[in-house]
Amino acid sequence: MKTNNYLLPVLAGMVFFCASACEPKWSETTGNDFSLVTNEGGAELGYSPASGVKLLSVDRLAFKDLNQNGTLDAYEDWRLSAEERATNLAKQMSVEQIAGLMLYSGHQSIPSSGRRGSNYGGKPFSESGASASDLSDDQRQFLTDDNLRHVLITQVETPPVAAQWNNNAQAHVEGIGLGIPVNTSSDPRHGSDSHAEFNEGAGGSISQWPGSLGIAASFDPGLMKKFGEIASREYRALGIATALSPQIDLATEPRWSRFDGTMGEDPDLATDLARAYVDGFQSTDGGDWGLESVNAMVKHWPGGGPEEGGRDGHFGYGAYAVYPGKNMDDHMQPFTEGVFKLDGPTKMASAVMPYYTISSGFGEAVGNGFNKYLITDVLRGKYGYDGVLCTDWGITRNASAVDKFEGKPWGIEEMSEDERHYKAIEAGMDQFGGNNDMKPVLAAYKMGVAAHDETYMRQRFEASAVRLLNNIFRVGLFENPYLDTEITEATVGAPEFMKAGFEAQLRSVVMLKNQAGVLPLAEKQKVYVPKRYIAPSSNWWGVVSLERTEPAFNPEVVAKYFTVVEDPKVADFALVGIESPNGGVGYDRADLNNGGNGYVPISLQYGSYIATEARETSLAGGSSLESFTNRTYKGKTVKTINETDMVLVNDTKAKMGDKPVIVIVQVSKPMVFAEIEGDAAAILVHMGVQDQAIMETITGKSEPSGLLPFQMPADMITVEKQFEDVPRDMTPYTDTEGSAYDFAFGLNWGGVIKDERVTRYGTPAASR
């Protein structure tokens, strides 16, 4: 065969062109648990070879064949939008798969042990020989048989264990069905260990911050956003892609047990802080969704703050939120003007959780998760919210008494669990918190088919599936859900994160009193630190804590600043650590057994309290678990469990004589100061900080700058007279120095703080 010489350069050019143009634009690195694929200018992919998933090469780029059909489906194409991919995948899903997607697991510890513990190979973890990062039997079951993909984790043994568990879970589900990854979530986990020490340059298991109420005391949305940015990086390093937070309920009811999880009682401050929190969590480097983004599930719509009498909706005795001031608008504001109108490009919080309560006077008298008016008409309709709506945990389960920690099906106690699932779906909910079992969701589907038709229910389920899948796609889990445990260990509790948290703690401390400028104190003075008595108690779950007497502060930390002495006579000053009054939950079965209705006051003072000024008739009431509707507690008496804190302050003052007593109060809600303020030369309050932050403050190394994000009431009469739904409507306590402990009050070394923060937020919203 004769070859024309003039074609040789052309053929050589074609070979060269094919070699370069046909070359893959991706490379693969194989690791111990998973393989990492880098696409040139595109997404990074992680997959487990053991899962059976293979790679597809299309347009010289790599994609995961998650459904293992040998074809690139739209949902596998990372070049498309999350909405396009979610819509494509939802159409491929069976009803059973969507039902599983609509589940959110009960609390899972890693390893699974303790009260909620599961078995490993049929044995308790301690006897099984399993690794801490292994999947438990229950986890394997609900991931495989119930198609569950949303998992709530609680405590973890270590960050690397959490990361390895994540990898094990992701590899397990990657090879099942359509390869939908696990979306792991967490309740807030950045609280401070009071006894822990902060050392510059040292790391920890996770950075320690004051709670939301403590950050609110800074009156600085920028600090809240910084927390969100750091916390989201630590969450993603633990495998957590959804935060069951922030809690943006407006804290207008001072007796509510969940007050300390809020951002205070002012609607404008709470709105700005809520917006900043979600922007910090959802954006990556201030931009759009990315690999450090965490979905924020804001709670609790339409605001859980106005609980009647302060009783909480986790129990039937707290089933009602009331609005004597006709002020629902303030409670919705942190949602409608805050997290639904973000400054960042993610635009809106990705999920919302309604509270357990019945919002009295708004739609049907059922819990908010079943209330079609509040969910479909108001949230979806009026405000156009199209993100995920997830029920609070356990609303579809049964309850046998108003004071038992069981299910919370308020207003529909007589329905079956299947019927409750259907009612929530019809109300507009997408997901069921705390339910590992898809059977009642499938039963609800059949009810919908009977009431409407197959087409209607299929479309209804697909609508929820698209919302749920959107949140998984946007944070990149379909591309790479795997973690490098070494990176996890270096990220979670990194020294710079620990430092930022400690600085936030310092900014959260509020000084209420500083008689004659007793603070700051010179170091190495002699200090008397009385021990604190803690009475026996039991929590919501019936876990009993024994009585004890223990140091209020870490003695080793105190000793680094002062000389600790046992004899108050030789001390230069006393340092007393106490907690705000614990006045109970508002219900006492003993009262019921003695012929009463069971309802008692919640006290914010230490001494015995008689509710002479309470309402004769409750604003709301009624339950199939009770034979009456009037939940009044007028004339009844209640004692706090920690009255000894008041005695400790008073006795210490008697021992110290004219020498100063410095009182540090960890507050979880407002309190009446009249019983202790006169015996204190200085008072500082905080919402959860390390002891070291207190020592740094009272020695002057850090000047107090925090402001009260709520009022401190003058007495219990003003507490009884205030409206549960109205902010800043109490008479504040005025101390012996003439200072009123009102919203936005705080002292620094120069006296009362009057800065831009006070100007911006200090004036009541109605007067601005």
Taking Cα atoms as reference points, which of 420, 413, 412 lies closest to residue 396?
A: 420
Given a cut of 60, whether residue 654 has pLDDT beyond it is yes
Cβ–Cβ < 8 Å for 494, 672: no
Residue 357, helix vs strand vs coil: coil
* 575-614 b/e (C-beta count within 10 Å ≥ 16 → b): bbbbbbbbbbbbbbeebbeeeebbbbbbbbbbeebebeeb
Residues 696-736: tens digit of each pLDDT: 999 999 999 999 999 999 999 999 999 999 999 999 999 99
Cα–Cα distance for residue pair 15/228, rounded to 1 Å: 53
- Residue 141, token pair as written in the block: 């079951």
Position 20 scores a pLDDT of 57
Given a cut of 50, whether residue 17 has pLDDT beyond it is no
SS3 annotation, 274-298: HHHHHHHHHCCCCCCCCCCCCEEEE
Task: Give the Cα-Cα-Cα angle 271, 276, 279 (nearest 5 degrees).
Answer: 125
The Cβ of residue 377 has, within 10 Å, a number of other Cβ atoms equal to 14
Residue 748, helix vs strand vs coil: strand
In the chain, % of residues over pLDDT 90 = 91
Position 542 scores a pLDDT of 74
| Strand pairing report for 351-354 and 295-301 | parallel
Position 200 scores a pLDDT of 75
Cα–Cα distance for residue pair 387/375, rounded to 1 Å: 12
Residue 533, helix vs strand vs coil: strand
Instruction: Establish whether the linkage from the previous residue to 302 is cis, with ω within 30° of 0.
Output: yes
| Strand pairing report for 183-186 and 240-243 | parallel
- Residue 664, token pair as written in the block: 């540090």
Cα–Cα distance for residue pair 276/604, rounded to 1 Å: 31
Instruction: Establish whether the linkage from the previous residue to 24 is cis, with ω within 30° of 0.
Output: no
Position 92 scores a pLDDT of 98
User: pTM of the prediction?
Assistant: 0.95
Phi and psi at 536, nearest 5°, equal: -65, 145
Residues 496-552: tens digit of each pLDDT: 999 999 999 999 999 999 999 999 999 999 999 999 999 888 776 677 788 999 999
Given a cut of 80, whether residue 339 has pLDDT beyond it is yes
Is residue 717 packed enough to be buried (19+ CB in 10 Å), middle (13-18) or exposed (0-12)? Answer: middle
Is residue 551 packed enough to be buried (19+ CB in 10 Å), middle (13-18) or exposed (0-12)? Answer: middle
Position 767 scores a pLDDT of 57
- Residue 159, token pair as written in the block: 């960050």
Alpha helices, H only, 624-687? 643-656
Instruction: Establish whether the linkage from the previous residue to 324 is cis, with ω within 30° of 0.
Output: no
Cβ–Cβ < 8 Å for 177, 254: no
Beta bridge partners, 514, equal 682
Taking Cα atoms as reference points, which of 25, 113, 167 lies closest to residue 482?
A: 167
Is residue 166 packed enough to be buried (19+ CB in 10 Å), middle (13-18) or exposed (0-12)? Answer: buried
Phi and psi at 341, nearest 5°, equal: -135, 70
Given a cut of 70, whether residue 8 has pLDDT beyond it is no
What is the average per-residue pLDDT within 256-281?
98
Give the domain ranges of the chain.
19-91, 501-584+641-767
In the chain, % of residues over pLDDT 70 = 96
Residues 365-380: tens digit of each pLDDT: 999 999 999 999 999 9
Cα–Cα distance for residue pair 322/307, rounded to 1 Å: 6
- CATH number belonging to domain 501-584+641-767: 3.40.50.1700
> What Cα–Cα distance (Å) separates residue 25 from each residue in 22, 41, 43, 450, 594?
9, 9, 11, 52, 78
**Averaged pLDDT of the chain:** 95
Taking Cα atoms as reference points, which of 391, 479, 471, 458 lies closest to residue 93?
A: 458
Position 765 scores a pLDDT of 58
Beta bridge partners, 545, equal 537
What is the average per-residue pLDDT within 264-292?
96
> What Cα–Cα distance (Å) separates residue 204 from each residue in 227, 489, 497, 557?
16, 10, 9, 17
Integer Rg of the chain from CA: 28
Q: Is 205 left (phi over 0), alpha (psi -120 to 50) or beta?
A: alpha
> Which residue type sits at 295?
N
Cα–Cα distance for residue pair 375/428, rounded to 1 Å: 6
Beta bridge partners, 544, equal 538
> How confident is residue 637, by pLDDT bands cut at 50, 70 and 90?
very high
Residue 713, helix vs strand vs coil: strand
DSSP symbol at 86: H
Alpha helices, H only, 37-196? 82-92, 95-101, 125-128, 137-144, 159-174
Helix (H) or strand (E) holding 388: strand 388-389
Taking Cα atoms as reference points, which of 269, 267, 256, 254 lies closest to residue 670?
A: 254
